[in-house]
A and B are shown apart, each in its own frame.
Chain A
Amino acid sequence: MAKGRWNRWRDAIVAVTTWTAAILVAVVFVWLLADIVIGGIAKLSWTFLTEAPRDAGRAGGIAPILVSTALILAVCMVASVPLSLATAILLAEFTPADGIFGRVVRRSLDVLAGVPSIVFGLFGYAFFCNTLGLGFSILSGGLTLACMVLPLLIRTTEEGMRSLSDDYRRAAAALGMTRTTTIFKVLLPAALPSLIVGLILSIGRASAETAALIFTSGYVDRMPSSLWDSGRAITVHILDLAINVPGGTENAYATALVLVMALLIINSVASWLGQRWLRRSIVR
């Protein structure tokens, strides 16, 4: 009988522990979100989004910062998406999963994914800013971010394509279709949901990045007039307001709120698009 009681106790302990852990995680997340909303909602307004910052960011809005951030992200995606698509196709379709070449490339990507962002920042500063002579610019920042998100994009795309049923490849081959058509008309569309997940994760990682951008796209909070201009990313702005500008806390909160909201919107729109696409072509 004692054994039965102990078993019941054990179940109870496990239940309480897992619930506590889960609630703790949720509480931390809600707390964080609530803190940002409470601290920032008062300052948030249409003018905040459309005005230039004044008085080192204590007053005014964040319009140029939003534009710079969007441009940096755009450069990052334009550079990284085609590169990672091509690499992922090579890895998933043309190299055997256990081949030497595939293993070496995958291992290098994993190492690259684990490199701290400050190292990417220094590399970007040395290579894009100095060696290529791009200076502190949106271009340098975007390209540095592209290097950072490449491993993530490539691995998610590759996994997405590998997880597709071999039935598709056999069916297409038996119909005398070329590999090119098979990849672009059949496999990539079917893998689109995982491509979108990879894209969301990369955009999230890229827009949350600060360290890699301080050294590459710089600090200037003016409206950029070209990709060769320096531009202040939104996270750099938050950092600056929070650390270097006494009295900037309120605007730092408001800016953080904008960033969190933007990420939430991008995330939901992208997954909604992915679901819709999935329903159109595959019914599970």
Chain B
Amino acid sequence: MSALHEPVMTPITSVNGDDLPTPLRRRLLIEANCVTLCYGQHTAFRDITLPIEENSITALVGPSGCGKSSFLSCLNRLTDLYKQCKVTGSILFDGDDILRPNVDVLNLRRRVGLIFQKPNPLPLSIRENLTLPLREHGHGNTAELNRKVESVLVDVGLWDEVRDRLDSPALALSGGQQQRLCIARAIALEPDVLLLDEPCSALDPISSGVVEDRIASLRDRYTIVIVTHNLAQARRIADTTALLWVRDGAGHLVEYAPTREFFESPQQEITAAYIQGARG
């Protein structure tokens, strides 16, 4: 174990990465080392090495096709769903390499929740959307499930809107409500990490604002990795920001820094051009 794995004793004194000095203060929960992902002959991204701090928000930004979303799906092995998809390198999660073949993938996905760009509630009732995954992971007690349903819906600010119609179809909710339900569904499983793949991009500005506030409010309890096209959003909520870019047809990591440094004193020309809107 390297020193980076040691829990950090210094209390966290800031949000938004404003006062975060380098070296990093928080414990590293995820360490991606030289991760490369290929779909058949095509390389989506190459040699990405990225540490992710515990209980913070890490934003991945960059132009379309630079492998941000693909990188997210490596972190909970959703890449397994695609037969031709091959991931190499190592991703340490809590010290264990989750790319090993004999990892308990179902449990990994419980601990590392993924929220998709397009809200995707299951074609069930609002309540069942929350209870079905919980039952799957061994929570059977109805009273306990009901308490859980209420508490996670409160967490995402949906409780007052749906308390009277928990048994109506989840697909009847508005887009923003559906997305918050999806977040509630993921946090009901008490994960350590939430991966968010452009969670606001399919929503109207008002719903998007509501969802963003909810994400920001979860920062102290979960390690959040968010892919976003919206630089202002990354700047508002992320503690650290990473820029991915396409080079030689495959994505790679350009710069990774506390959000404030990333935006105020970028080290790479490409980053500077990107945040000024000259590129990407």
Q: Which residues of B contact A181 (CB under 8 A)?
A: 132, 136
A45 at the B interface (CB under 8 A): no
> In the bound complex, do residue B123 and residue A168 qualify as a contact, i.e. CB atoms below 8 Å apart?
yes
Q: Mark A257-284, 1 if CB is under 8 A from B, else 0.
A: 0000000000000000000000011110
> In the bound complex, do residue A282 and residue B123 qualify as a contact, i.e. CB atoms below 8 Å apart?
yes
With A280-B169, A283-B171, A283-B172 in contact, do A176 and B107 touch (Cβ < 8 Å)? yes
* Minimum CB–CB distance for A219 against chain B, Å: 48
Nearest to A168 among chain B residues (CB) is B122
Nearest to A180 among chain B residues (CB) is B136
A172 at the B interface (CB under 8 A): yes
* Minimum CB–CB distance for B266 against chain A, Å: 33
Q: Mark A149-175, 1 if CB is under 8 A from B, else 0.
A: 000000000000000010111111111
With A167-B116, A170-B116 in contact, do A175 and B133 touch (Cβ < 8 Å)? yes
Partner-contacting stretch, out of A102-110, A111-119, A184-192: A184-192
A133 at the B interface (CB under 8 A): no
CA distance A177 to B110 in the complex (A): 9
CA distance A168 to B185 in the complex (A): 14
With A185-B132, A282-B169 in contact, do A174 and B113 touch (Cβ < 8 Å)? yes
Within 8 A of A (CB), among B77-117: 78, 81, 83, 105-110, 113-114, 116
Which of under 10, 10 to 19, 20 to 34, or 35 or more describes the interface residues of B? 20 to 34
CA distance A283 to B107 in the complex (A): 32
Q: Which residues of B contact A96 (CB under 8 A)?
A: 83
Nearest to B83 among chain A residues (CB) is A96
Q: Which residues of A contact B133 (CB under 8 A)?
A: 172, 175-177
* Minimum CB–CB distance for A122 against chain B, Å: 43
**Pair count A-B, CB < 8 A:** 77
> In the bound complex, do residue A177 and residue B132 qualify as a contact, i.e. CB atoms below 8 Å apart?
yes
Interface size, chain A (Cβ < 8 Å): 23
> In the bound complex, do residue A281 and residue B124 qualify as a contact, i.e. CB atoms below 8 Å apart?
yes
> In the bound complex, do residue A186 and residue B113 qualify as a contact, i.e. CB atoms below 8 Å apart?
no
Q: Which residues of A contact B107 (CB under 8 A)?
A: 176
A225 at the B interface (CB under 8 A): no
CA distance A190 to B169 in the complex (A): 12
With A170-B78, A170-B81 in contact, do A281 and B123 touch (Cβ < 8 Å)? yes
A178 at the B interface (CB under 8 A): yes
* Minimum CB–CB distance for B84 against chain A, Å: 11
CA distance A176 to B136 in the complex (A): 8
* Minimum CB–CB distance for A173 against chain B, Å: 6
> In the bound complex, do residue A283 and residue B109 qualify as a contact, i.e. CB atoms below 8 Å apart?
no
> In the bound complex, do residue A175 and residue B186 qualify as a contact, i.e. CB atoms below 8 Å apart?
yes
B229 at the A interface (CB under 8 A): no
B189 at the A interface (CB under 8 A): yes
> In the bound complex, do residue A174 and residue B114 qualify as a contact, i.e. CB atoms below 8 Å apart?
yes
> In the bound complex, do residue B124 and residue A186 qualify as a contact, i.e. CB atoms below 8 Å apart?
yes
> In the bound complex, do residue A168 and residue B108 qualify as a contact, i.e. CB atoms below 8 Å apart?
no
A-B contact pairs, 20 of them (CB 8 A): A168-B120, A168-B122, A170-B120, A171-B121, A173-B78, A173-B109, A174-B78, A174-B116, A175-B136, A175-B186, A175-B189, A176-B109, A176-B110, A176-B136, A177-B136, A178-B106, A178-B136, A281-B125, A281-B171, A283-B171
Given contacts A173-B81, A175-B109, 19 further A-B contacts (CB under 8 A): A167-B120, A168-B123, A171-B120, A171-B122, A172-B133, A174-B76, A174-B113, A174-B116, A175-B113, A175-B186, A175-B189, A176-B105, A176-B106, A176-B107, A176-B108, A176-B133, A176-B189, A178-B136, A281-B123
